[in-house]
């Protein structure tokens, strides 16, 4: 089975312009009894304003599904991981998704890389659509807003930071206090893995696509996929960051460019192959991570946990990565 890098490759992550945040407004009709509160969230394509608390929410990415679950809210529909997940297209940390939630990937032409399935989304009669990197233009955003108020990508990077998403959702659901508590608790857990010896070490998140014979490498320090490494005290290799430049947070490289993977920690998915196949690539077995215990050859859910991180997926990823982190820390 050929699986793309969680659909966030090269051009797919160029999601418009604008910095983002979330804010509440005070323009509710305070002269009326039971006035409806109005809140607003800023994103890459403008500002989305919601009156009241949305109840029928469609999540178009695993990050938004996870944010909803953390706040104890069920989506009415979700765009799943397809065959990369379980029978419902869900990752191991998403087992609490209700059986009533509609898998919008199943039974239509939508893929993790294709356009969002507008008609199936509209059929669910949502009062809020949580969008992500799939909304790549103002036109696609406008199409979704004709169905329901829509939150586009929050920022310029290909993958939004998970804590920004939780804060935005907390604002929309009038659950800001709960969102901040979840963020604080997860950050405290991350701190437990941030061994002092990891400070200043380098980390790379990648996959090798055997069908295309190329590496896909995360190379933007501000991308949400790099945030966990930063919190652990690690950095991306500077040469890799400079090579990627400002045009894309991910680079695609030929097998001969195994030098781009020189780092203390390498988390890599052998997409369409095995660890033995990776080791057969010229120079791969001589990478520093192979010698120092910092190599983590992972499956698709684990690379997804890093690549589109949420509070829930980070908990899963840290458990999977503990042996490598302890080896690098000399524990």
Alpha helices in 25-137 (DSSP H): 62-70, 118-123
Token digits of residue 247: 């045009």
pLDDT of 20 reads 34
Nearest to 153 by CA among 282, 63, 263: 63
pLDDT of 13 reads 32
- Which DSSP state fits 255? G
* Every domain of the chain and the residues it spans: 10-28+35-189, 197-329
pLDDT digits (tens, 9 = 90+) for 11-60: 333 222 222 333 333 343 333 334 458 999 999 999 999 999 999 999 99
pLDDT of 220 reads 87
Kindly give the interhelix angle for 62-70 and 311-329, rounded to the nearest 10 degrees.
Answer: 100
Residues in the chain: 331
CATH topology of domain 197-329: Rossmann fold (3.40.50)
Token digits of residue 209: 């696509």
pLDDT digits (tens, 9 = 90+) for 100-153: 999 998 544 444 455 788 999 999 999 999 988 778 889 989 999 999 999 999
Beta strand segments in 212-256, E: 214-218, 250-253
pLDDT digits (tens, 9 = 90+) for 225-271: 888 999 999 999 998 888 877 555 788 999 999 999 999 999 999 99
Is residue 175 scored above 90 in pLDDT? Answer: yes
CATH topology of domain 10-28+35-189: Rossmann fold (3.40.50)
Task: Establish whether domains 10-28+35-189 and 197-329 are of one fold.
Answer: yes
Higher pLDDT, 10 or 256: 256
pLDDT digits (tens, 9 = 90+) for 68-90: 999 999 999 998 888 888 999 99
pLDDT of 158 reads 66
Nearest to 128 by CA among 231, 58, 205: 58
Is residue 193 scored above 90 in pLDDT? Answer: yes
How far apart are alpha carbons 39 and 48 in whole angstroms?
8
Sheet strand arrangement including 250-253 = 250-253, 214-218, 203-209, 265-271, 295-297
pLDDT of 307 reads 87
How far apart are alpha carbons 280 and 283 in whole angstroms?
8
pLDDT of 16 reads 29
């Amino acid at each position: 089975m050929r699986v793309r890098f969680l659909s966030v490759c090269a051009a797919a992550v160029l999601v418009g312009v604008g910095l983002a945040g979330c804010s509440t407004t005070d323009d509710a009709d305070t002269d009326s009894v039971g006035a409806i509160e109005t809140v607003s969230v800023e994103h890459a394509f403008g500002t989305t304003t919601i009156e009241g608390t949305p109840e029928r929410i469609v999540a178009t990415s695993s990050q938004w599904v996870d944010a909803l679950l953390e706040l104890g809210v069920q989506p009415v529909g979700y765009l799943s991981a397809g065959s990369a997940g379980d029978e419902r297209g869900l990752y191991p940390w998403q087992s609490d998704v209700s059986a009533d939630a509609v898998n919008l990937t199943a039974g239509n032409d939508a893929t993790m890389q294709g356009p969002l399935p507008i008609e199936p989304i509209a059929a669910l009669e949502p009062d809020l659509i949580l969008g992500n990197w799939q909304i790549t233009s103002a036109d696609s955003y406008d199409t979704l807003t004709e169905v329901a108020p829509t939150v586009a990508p929050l920022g310029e990077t290909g993958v939004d930071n998970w804590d920004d998403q939780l804060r935005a959702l907390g604002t929309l659901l009038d659950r800001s206090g709960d969102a901040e508590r979840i963020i604080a608790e997860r950050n405290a857990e991350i701190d437990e893995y941030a061994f002092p010896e990891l400070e200043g070490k380098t980390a790379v998140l990648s996959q090798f696509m055997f069908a295309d014979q190329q590496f896909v490498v995360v190379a933007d320090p501000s991308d949400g996929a790099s945030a966990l490494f930063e919190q652990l005290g690690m950095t991306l290799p500077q040469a890799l960051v400079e090579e990627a430049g400002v045009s894309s947070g991910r680079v695609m490289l030929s097998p001969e460019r195994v030098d781009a993977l020189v780092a203390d920690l390498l988390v890599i998915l052998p997409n369409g192959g095995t660890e033995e196949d990776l080791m057969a690539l010229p120079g791969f077995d001589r990478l520093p991570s192979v010698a120092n215990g910092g190599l983590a050859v992972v499956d698709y859910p684990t690379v997804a946990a890093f690549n589109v991180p949420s509070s829930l997926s980070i908990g899963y990823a840290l458990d999977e990565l503990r042996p490598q982190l302890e080896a690098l820390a000399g524990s």
